[in-house]
C-alpha cells in the first residue's frame, strides 16, 4: 500500500511528508491525516478521555469523536483537530492525544486494568477522603480533551460580511436542487459546502439524475449556478449564527491557517446539511478497526484507502448490501453481513437480488443477528455474532475491520437554536427539527428524506419557497428527477443485548466515554430528563456535540426507560456546529486590534524618557518615571516628595472635557450639577459634582465659565464618554426643546498640570513677559487665556495636589514644546502613582470614593446639598435610607502606632464585633509628607470621630490597628495652594 500511488476522487500523485507521534509518514496531495495514516495501516489514533482506551478513526468527517489530533509544536499547538478533516501539508507535525508517555503505553490506562468503572458523577462519589484537594492536581492533569496551548501563532482570519436573498448550507443533491430553483427566480443566492467539492452523497450512490450520471448533473448544475451569479463557497462550513445572521467558516486546510469568516445576513435560509451515520452500541464497540460503513466507502472512493482486508458489515437496513458490493468491487474481502432485521430483503427488491449475488460470491449474509462484541486487543481481530431471537449459539467471525451502520441522523443543529423543536420520525429512527421560523427551512436528508428522488424534490421545493420568502416570484417549472439507492427500509436498532456487567463497555458516546451503564446509573439516581442525563453523564458534550451520540443516546435511554423515543426527546447541540478556533471566531477583534489604545500628545515623550506606560481604561498613562527610583513605590515616593518640596509637572490630557454652549446652557448645567453653574463668573471655575437620578454621586470635576453662554466642564479621565452620554440623554429627553449644544473637546486640549512651590515662577519664566501680570494676579480657581507659540493656551489656577498649581489647557500642537520647556526650566515630571499619593494626602476623591454607592452627604458635602439647587437626583437624595446611622461617611485613617501599614480594600472592624466590617479603606498610600501610611475610608456614620478600628486584610493575613482622622491629612487649611 505504501509503495504505490493510491487513486481516488480527492488524491493526486505526489508525496507529502509528515510526522505522527514522532514517526515520519508519506501521504499524497489531497489526503487527510486520517486517510494517509489509514493507508499506512495505522489503526490507533489516540486514547479516550476517561478510560484511556485506544481508539481509531470512526468516521470521515467533522463528527469524528475519537481521532482528534494535536497539531504543531509547543507552546503554540492546536489541539482537537479531527483527523478526517485535516488536510496534509508538507512538514505537518501531528500527535495523538490523551496518552502519556506514548500512545501504545499509557500510564493512566491502568485505571481500567482492575475493571474499574468510573461511572457518571464519580467525582462526587469518590476522592472524598481526606480532601478533594489531595486528588485534584492529579485529576486535573489527566482530565480534559487534548492539551491547551499557551501561545497562539494563528493569523487573523479575513472577515467578510455578505447579504443575500437565499443562503443554502450544503451542496449535496438537495442543496444543489435548492440553489438551482432559487437562482432561476433571479434571487441572489449564496451556497456553502463544507467539503472541497460539491455533490455530497452523489459521489457514492452511482445514481442517475435526469437521465445522466448524478455527478454529471451536479457539475452541470454548478456551471449553471455560476452563470447565474450564485456565490459558491466550498471548504466553507456553516458553524452557527444568532439573530438573523449566519456564520460560515472557510478553512481550506482543515487546519487553522489562512481562513475566512463570513457573516451572512440572508432573507431566507435553506439548511441542506444532510444526515450523519450513527453507530450501534455493543460490547467494546470502540475498538480500533470499528468504523462507520459510509466512512469506509468514503475512504475507498476518495482516497483509495482500504479500511481493512477482511471486513464484517453490521447494519439494520437495505443499503448495507449495495455498500458491500461497492467495497468488494474496491478490492476488499467482505466476510459477512450481519443484518439485525428478522426478514431479509426479498428477491423482488434490488437489495434482495444483490444479497443473493453476494451470497453466491461467498459472503455470509446473516439475518436476525447482531454483533455482540468486538474482540481483539489494540485492534479488532474478530467479532462475536449471536441471533436476536430463538436459540442459537454465539459465533466468532475473524476480521480486521467492522463497519457499522445504525441508520442516519439528520443534521438539524441549526434548527434547534433560537426556537425550534425536535420531533421523532419513526421511519428513519431519528429526530427532525420542526417549529422553524418562516425564514428558515430544512431540505433533503436533513429533512428526513433518504431517497434521491425525494431529496431532489424536497430541495427544489425548499429553494422555491425560500425565494418566495425573499420576495421573488417563482416561475413554473419542476426540478430534476433522479434515482439512486433503494429506500433503506430501516428497522431502528440501537444496541445489541448484553449482560448488566458488560454494559459499561457498550459505548454510546465515544468522545466522552459514556456507556449504557452510565445511562442506567443516571436513571437510577433520578435523572430522567434527557438534558439532565446529558449534564450528569457528559453525553453529547465535546467537539462532536452529539453528532454520532445524541440519537443513539436517546434511543438507548428510551429502551432503558421503557418509553417511546418521541417521549424521551434528544439533547440540544450547541454552536459551533463543527470545531472552529477561537482565533477565527474573534475575527479582527483580537490582539492589538481588540481595543482602541488612546494616547496623549505627550505619549512619545513619556516613552522616550523612562515613563512606565500602562493602560488606564483605554488610555496609556505613565505610572512613574524610571529616573525617579529603583522600583515603582520608591519612584512614586520620590516624585511626590519632589512636588511638595520644589514642584513637578504631570500629563493630565486624559481629562474628559465637554463644552456646553447656548442660551440655555446655564440653566441646563444648573439641572445637571448639584450646585449652580449659572452663578459662576466669567473667567472663573468651580468644583462641581454630578448626581445620578437616584441621588448617588456620578462624577466630579471643574466647570469653567468661558462666556455668558459657554462653559467647559472637566470630568474624570475614565468617565468622559459616559458623562457625554449622560448629558446627551437629558438633552434629548427633558431638555429637547431647549437651546443647548454639547461638544466633546477631550482631544482638542492637552492638559499639563504644573504643581509645587516653584510652579508660578517657572511658569512665568517659560511663558514669557506677556503672561507675567496675568499669572501673578490669577486667583485660586480663576483662569486666563492667551497664546503660546501662536496657539491657544488657557491657564487655570486649580490644584489636585494641594500645592500651588496651574492647569495648562493648550492645543495639542504645542503640548510637547511647552512640556519640554517646563522640564528644561527645572520641573521634573511625575506619574499617576505620585498623583495618587498627593491627592490622598489632601483627601481629594477619585473613583475609589465615587464608587457608585455614595451620596454627597456620605462624602461630607452636606453644605453643598443644603444650598438647595433643584438638580437631577435631588428628589431621591432625601430618602430616609440615605440618612441612616449605618450609611458610610468619608473619613481618613492612620495607623495607631504611626508605623503600621494597610492597603486599599482592607475591611475595618470595631473591637466589639471583629467579624463584621463597619467600613473599608478606599485608598491607602505611604505619605512622604507625613512619613507614615495614610488612607481614606468609608465607615458607618455612627462611629465617633476618634474611633479605634482594625484594618483587616484577610487575603494577606494582616491586621493593623487604625484610628479615624479627618480626611484631609496634609495642610488642612489649604494654605499652600492658595498662596
Partner 1 sequence: MTRLKCPFCGPRELREFAFHKTLPAGPGTAFERTYERVDRPERSVEHWQHIEGCRGWLKVERNPSSGAVLTTRLLGGSSVDGAP
Per CB under 8 A, residues contacting partner 1 are: 242-245, 418, 693-694, 721, 725, 728-729, 731-733, 736-737, 875-876, 879
Extended strands (E) in 490-618: 507-509, 514-515, 611-616
Cβ pair 622, 605 in contact under 8 A: no
| Strands 750-755 and 741-744, sheet pairing | unpaired
Contact 72, 33 (CB under 8 A): no
Rounded Cα distance, 568 and 952, in Å: 55
Between CA 203 and CA 193 the distance in angstroms is: 14
Can you tell me which residue has the cell 515623550?
Answer: 605
The nearest distance, CB 852 to partner 1, in angstroms, is 14
* Helix, strand, coil distribution of the chain in percent, nearest 5: 25, 30, 45
Residue with Cβ nearer partner 1 (742 or 936) = 742
Nearer residue to partner 1 within complex by CB, 245 or 860: 245
Choice between 131 and 733, CB closer to partner 1:
733
How far is residue 612 from each of residues 27, 81, 433, 437, 725, measured CA to CA in Å? 53, 41, 57, 55, 31
CA dihedral 229, 232, 238, 243 (to 10 degrees): -10
Shortest distance (Å) from residue 246 CB to partner 1 = 11
For residue 137, count other CB atoms closer than 10 A to its CB: 9
| Smallest gap from residue 239 Cβ to partner 1 (A) | 15
Q: Residue 725 or 946: which CB sits closer to partner 1?
A: 725
Complete DSSP assignment for 202-253 = HHHH--EETTEEHHHHHHHHHHHHHHTT-EEEETEEEEEEETTEEEEEE-TT
Cell digits of residue 712? 467647559
CB 838 within 8 A of CB 930: no
Beta carbon of residue 702, minimum distance to partner 1 (angstroms, whole number): 24
By the 10 Å C-beta count (0-12 exposed, 13-18 middle, 19+ buried), 725 is classed as exposed
Instruction: Please spell the DSSP secondary structure of 21-90, one letter per residue.
Output: TTEEEEE-TT-BHHHHHHHTT----EE-TTT--EE----SSTT-SS-EEEES-TTS-EEEEEGGG-B--T
Question: For residues 747 and 764, which CB has a smaller minimum distance to partner 1 in the complex?
Answer: 747
Cβ 875 to partner 1, closest distance in Å? 4
Q: Give 161 or 309: the residue with its C-beta nearer to partner 1.
A: 161
Task: Tell me the Ramachandran region of residue 670: left when phi exceeds 0, alpha when psi lies from -120 to 50, beta otherwise.
Answer: alpha
Judged by beta carbon, residue 870 or residue 954, the one nearer partner 1 is 870
- Rounded least distance, CB 878 to partner 1, Å: 10
Complex with partner 1: residue 731 or 778, whichever CB lies closer: 731
Specify the residue, 378 or 876, whose C-beta has the smaller distance to partner 1. 876
Side-chain-side CA neighbours of 290 within 13 Å: the count stands at: 32
Residue with Cβ nearer partner 1 (174 or 877): 877
* Residue 881 beta carbon to partner 1: minimum distance, rounded to whole angstroms: 11
- For the CB of residue 948, give the shortest distance to partner 1 in the complex, in Å: 38
**Which residue lies nearer to partner 1 by CB, 227 or 736?**
736
Q: Cβ distance 857 to 883 under 8 Å?
A: yes
Q: Considering the complex, what minimum distance in angstroms separates the CB of residue 730 from partner 1?
A: 10
For 562, residues 6+ apart whose C-beta sits below 8 A from its C-beta are none
CB of 244 to partner 1, least distance (A): 7
Helix (H) or strand (E) holding 920: strand 913-927
Contact 873, 692 (CB under 8 A): yes
Closer CB to partner 1, 171 or 723, in the complex? 723
Minimum CB separation from partner 1 for residue 870, in Å? 12
* Min CB(242)–partner 1 separation in Å: 6
Q: Are 287 and 379 in contact (CB under 8 A)?
A: yes
Q: Match 463528527 to its residue by C-alpha cell.
A: 63
CB 386, min distance to partner 1, A = 53
Smallest distance from the beta carbon of 838 to partner 1, in angstroms?
34
Contact 469, 461 (CB under 8 A): no
CA dist 361 and 366 (Å) reads 14
Minimum distance between the CB of residue 465 and partner 1, rounded to whole angstroms? 21
Q: Which is nearer to partner 1, 881 or 974 (CB)?
A: 881
Long-range interactions of 565-571: CB distance < 8 A, separation 24+: 565/424, 565/429, 565/492, 566/423, 566/424, 566/426, 568/530, 569/422, 569/431, 569/530, 570/422, 570/431, 570/530, 570/546, 571/530, 571/531, 571/534, 571/539, 571/540, 571/546
Select 244 or 786, whichever has its Cβ closest to partner 1: 244
Q: Choose between 501 and 879: whose C-beta lies nearer to partner 1.
A: 879
Amino acid at each position: 500500500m505504501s509503495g504505490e500511488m493510491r487513486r481516488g476522487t480527492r488524491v493526486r500523485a505526489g508525496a507529502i511528508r509528515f510526522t505522527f507521534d514522532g514517526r515520519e509518514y508519506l501521504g499524497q496531495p489531497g489526503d487527510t491525516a486520517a486517510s494517509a495514516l489509514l493507508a499506512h495501516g495505522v489503526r490507533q489514533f489516540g486514547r479516550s478521555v476517561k478510560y484511556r482506551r485506544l481508539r481509531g478513526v470512526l468516521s470521515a468527517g467533522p463528527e469524528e469523536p475519537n481521532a482528534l489530533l494535536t497539531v504543531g509544536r509547543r507552546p503554540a499547538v492546536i489541539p482537537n483537530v479531527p483527523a478526517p478533516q485535516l488536510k496534509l501539508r508538507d512538514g505537518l507535525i501531528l500527535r495523538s492525544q490523551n496518552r502519556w508517555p506514548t500512545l501504545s503505553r499509557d500510564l493512566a490506562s491502568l485505571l481500567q486494568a482492575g475493571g474499574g468503572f468510573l461511572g457518571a458523577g464519580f467525582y462526587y462519589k469518590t476522592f472524598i477522603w481526606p480532601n478533594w484537594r489531595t486528588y485534584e492536581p492529579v485529576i486535573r492533569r489527566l482530565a480534559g480533551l487534548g492539551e491547551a496551548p499557551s501561545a497562539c501563532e494563528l493569523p487573523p482570519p479575513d472577515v467578510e460580511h455578505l447579504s443575500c436573498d437565499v443562503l443554502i448550507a450544503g451542496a449535496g443533491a438537495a442543496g444543489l436542487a435548492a440553489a438551482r430553483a432559487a437562482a432561476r427566480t433571479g434571487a441572489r443566492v449564496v451556497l456553502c459546502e463544507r467539503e472541497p467539492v460539491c455533490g455530497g452523497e452523489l459521489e457514492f450512490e452511482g445514481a442517475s439524475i435526469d437521465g445522466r450520471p448524478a455527478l454529471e448533473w451536479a457539475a452541470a448544475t454548478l456551471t449553471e449556478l455560476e452563470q447565474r451569479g450564485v456565490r459558491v463557497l466550498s471548504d466553507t462550513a456553516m458553524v452557527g449564527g444568532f439573530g438573523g445572521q449566519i456564520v460560515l467558516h472557510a478553512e481550506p486546510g482543515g487546519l487553522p491557517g489562512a481562513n475566512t469568516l463570513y457573516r451572512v445576513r440572508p432573507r431566507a435560509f435553506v439548511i441542506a446539511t444532510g444526515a450523519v451515520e450513527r453507530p450501534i452500541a455493543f460490547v467494546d464497540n470502540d475498538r480500533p478497526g470499528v468504523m462507520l460503513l459510509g466512512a469506509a466507502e468514503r475512504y475507498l472512493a476518495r482516497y483509495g484507502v482500504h479500511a481493512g482486508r477482511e471486513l464484517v458489515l453490521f447494519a439494520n437496513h437495505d443499503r448495507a448490501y449495495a455498500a458491500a458490493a461497492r467495497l468488494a468491487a474496491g478490492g476488499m474481502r467482505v466476510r459477512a453481513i450481519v443484518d439485525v432485521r428478522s426478514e431479509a430483503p426479498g428477491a423482488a427488491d434490488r437489495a434482495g437480488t444483490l444479497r443473493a449475488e453476494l451470497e453466491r460470491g461467498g459472503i455470509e449474509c446473516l439475518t436476525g443477528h447482531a454483533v455482540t462484541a468486538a474482540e481483539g486487543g489494540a485492534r479488532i481481530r474478530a467479532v462475536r455474532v449471536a441471533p436476536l431471537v430463538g436459540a442459537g449459539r454465539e459465533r466468532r467471525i475473524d476480521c480486521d475491520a467492522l463497519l457499522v451502520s445504525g441508520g442516519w441522523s439528520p443534521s438539524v443543529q441549526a434548527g434547534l437554536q433560537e426556537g425550534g423543536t425536535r420531533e421523532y420520525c419513526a421511519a428513519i429512527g431519528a429526530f427532525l427539527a420542526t417549529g422553524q421560523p418562516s425564514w428558515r427551512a430544512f431540505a433533503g436528508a436533513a429533512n428526513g428524506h433518504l431517497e434521491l428522488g425525494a431529496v431532489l424534490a424536497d430541495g427544489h421545493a425548499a429553494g422555491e419557497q425560500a425565494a418566495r420568502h425573499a420576495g421573488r416570484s417563482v416561475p413554473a417549472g419542476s426540478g430534476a428527477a433522479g434515482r439512486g439507492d433503494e429506500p433503506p427500509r430501516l428497522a431502528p436498532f440501537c444496541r445489541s443485548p448484553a449482560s448488566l456487567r458488560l454494559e459499561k463497555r457498550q459505548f454510546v458516546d465515544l468522545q466522552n466515554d459514556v456507556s449504557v451503564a452510565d445511562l442506567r446509573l443516571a436513571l437510577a439516581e433520578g435523572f430522567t430528563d434527557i438534558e439532565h442525563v446529558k449534564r450528569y453523564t457528559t453525553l453529547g458534550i465535546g467537539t462532536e456535540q452529539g453528532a454520532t451520540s445524541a440519537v443513539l443516546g436517546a434511543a438507548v435511554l428510551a429502551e432503558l426507560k421503557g418509553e417511546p423515543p418521541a417521549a424521551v426527546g434528544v439533547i440540544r447541540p450547541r454552536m459551533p456546529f463543527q470545531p472552529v478556533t477561537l482565533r477565527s471566531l474573534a475575527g479582527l477583534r483580537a490582539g492589538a486590534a481588540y481595543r482602541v489604545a488612546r494616547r496623549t500628545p505627550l505619549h512619545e515623550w513619556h516613552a522616550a524618557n523612562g515613563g512606565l506606560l500602562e493602560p488606564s481604561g483605554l488610555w496609556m498613562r505613565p505610572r512613574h518615571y524610571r529616573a525617579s527610583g529603583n522600583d515603582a513605590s520608591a519612584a512614586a515616593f520620590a516624585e511626590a516628595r519632589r512636588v511638595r518640596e520644589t514642584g513637578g509637572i504631570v500629563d493630565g490630557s486624559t481629562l474628559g472635557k465637554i463644552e456646553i454652549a447656548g442660551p440655555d446652557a446655564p440653566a441646563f448645567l444648573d439641572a445637571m450639577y448639584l450646585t449652580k453653574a449659572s452663578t459662576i463668573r466669567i473667567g472663573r471655575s468651580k468644583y462641581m459634582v454630578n448626581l445620578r437620578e437616584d441621588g448617588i454621586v456620578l462624577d466630579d470635576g471643574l466647570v469653567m465659565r468661558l462666556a455668558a453662554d459657554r462653559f467647559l466642564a472637566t470630568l474624570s479621565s475614565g468617565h468622559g464618554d459616559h458623562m457625554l452620554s449622560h448629558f446627551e440623554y437629558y438633552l434629548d429627553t427633558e431638555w429637547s426643546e431647549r437651546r443647548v449644544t454639547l461638544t466633546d473637546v477631550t482631544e482638542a486640549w492637552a492638559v499639563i498640570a504644573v504643581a509645587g512651590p516653584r510652579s508660578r515662577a517657572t511658569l512665568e519664566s517659560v511663558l514669557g513677559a506677556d503672561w507675567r501680570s496675568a499669572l501673578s494676579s490669577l486667583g485660586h480657581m480663576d483662569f486666563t487665556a492667551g497664546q503660546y507659540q501662536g496657539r491657544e493656551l488657557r491657564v487655570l489656577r486649580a490644584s489636585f495636589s494641594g500645592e500651588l498649581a496651574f492647569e495648562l489647557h493648550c492645543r495639542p500642537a504645542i503640548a510637547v514644546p511647552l512640556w519640554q520647556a517646563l522640564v528644561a526650566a527645572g520641573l521634573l515630571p511625575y506619574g499617576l502613582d505620585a498623583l495618587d499619593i498627593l491627592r490622598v494626602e489632601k483627601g481629594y476623591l477619585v473613583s475609589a470614593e465615587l464608587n457608585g454607592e455614595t451620596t454627597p452627604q456620605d462624602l461630607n458635602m452636606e453644605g453643598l446639598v443644603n444650598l438647595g439647587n433643584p438638580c437631577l437626583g435631588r428628589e431621591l437624595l432625601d430618602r430616609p435610607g440615605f440618612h441612616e446611622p449605618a450609611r458610610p461617611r468619608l473619613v481618613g485613617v492612620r495607623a495607631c502606632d504611626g508605623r503600621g501599614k494597610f492597603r486599599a480594600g482592607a475591611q475595618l472592624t470595631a473591637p466589639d464585633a471583629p467579624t463584621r466590617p463597619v467600613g473599608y479603606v478606599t485608598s491607602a498610600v505611604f505619605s512622604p509628607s507625613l512619613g507614615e501610611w495614610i488612607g481614606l475610608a468609608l465607615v458607618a456614620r455612627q462611629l465617633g470621630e476618634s474611633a479605634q478600628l482594625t484594618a483587616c486584610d484577610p487575603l494577606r493575613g494582616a491586621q493593623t490597628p487604625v484610628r479615624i482622622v479627618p480626611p484631609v491629612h496634609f495642610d488642612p487649611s489649604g494654605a499652600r495652594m492658595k498662596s
